[in-house]
Chain A
């Protein structure tokens, strides 16, 4: 069963069409990452499309805003799409990832504010 077959309900497919349209507008390297993220989330097996929707919505928000800032996609995902996606859906290692995101946030703020002051 492929991704699109999994997404059956009509309101769901409307959501996903909107997601794909947003993804289309991303730069190329971001679009490649998006495909990988999609595949990875699918790999989580018995997922319910409906419950995944807000997660995907937020990820696209992240990709859109990061792309607009001209950030390197590898930096956004911390070079580890698999772990990143596992953290997005929660579960065992999510806490480790959240700690990484925390440090990433404070590091980026310090770096960028430092540049501003200097």
Chain B
């Protein structure tokens, strides 16, 4: 599930969010806040991987085992998010890179 699916497959996106709504309330709250944070930070894993649906997989498993969401991922939700995307460059990184490449080309 990448964010491209929001554009290209409204249906997949709706199905994805339906899974989110089916989570216990504490999981749903944390998932939604995480998703908004990830949209802002913009790791390329959003569109090039299955980041979002993998998080839901993990949350479904945790919920099935009867754990609370903070018990599962710890209270520092932001740190958990950053850990998840540690290896992923962001869209902003790519944008900055393309800009400096353009500058370099212009100077030649």
Are A48 and B29 neighbours in the complex by a CB distance under 8 Å? no
Interface status of A57 (Cβ within 8 A of chain B) = yes
- Which B residues are in CB contact (< 8 Å) with A50? 98
Q: Check A89 against B96 for contact (C-beta < 8 Å).
A: yes
Which one, A51, A62, A106, contacts B95 given CB within 8 A? A51
Interface residues on B, range: 35 or more
Given contacts A51-B98, A58-B3, contact A88 B40 (CB under 8 A): yes
A15 to B6, CA, bound (A): 12
Indicate if the CB atoms of A112 and B33 lie closer than 8 Å.
yes
A34 CA to B30 CA in the complex, in Å?
Answer: 25
Q: Are B6 and A47 in contact (CB under 8 A)?
A: no
Least CB distance from B50 to A in Å reads 15
Separation of A109 and B25 alpha carbons in the complex (Å): 12
* Contact partners of B35 in chain A: CB under 8 A: 61, 65
| Residues A109 and B33 in contact in the complex (CB < 8 Å), given A55-B92, A55-B95, A90-B92 | yes
Q: Does A7 have its Cβ within 8 Å of any Cβ on chain B? A: no
Residue of B nearest to A50 (CB): B98
User: Contact mask B76-102 → A, CB, 8 Å, 1/0?
Assistant: 111001100000001111111011001
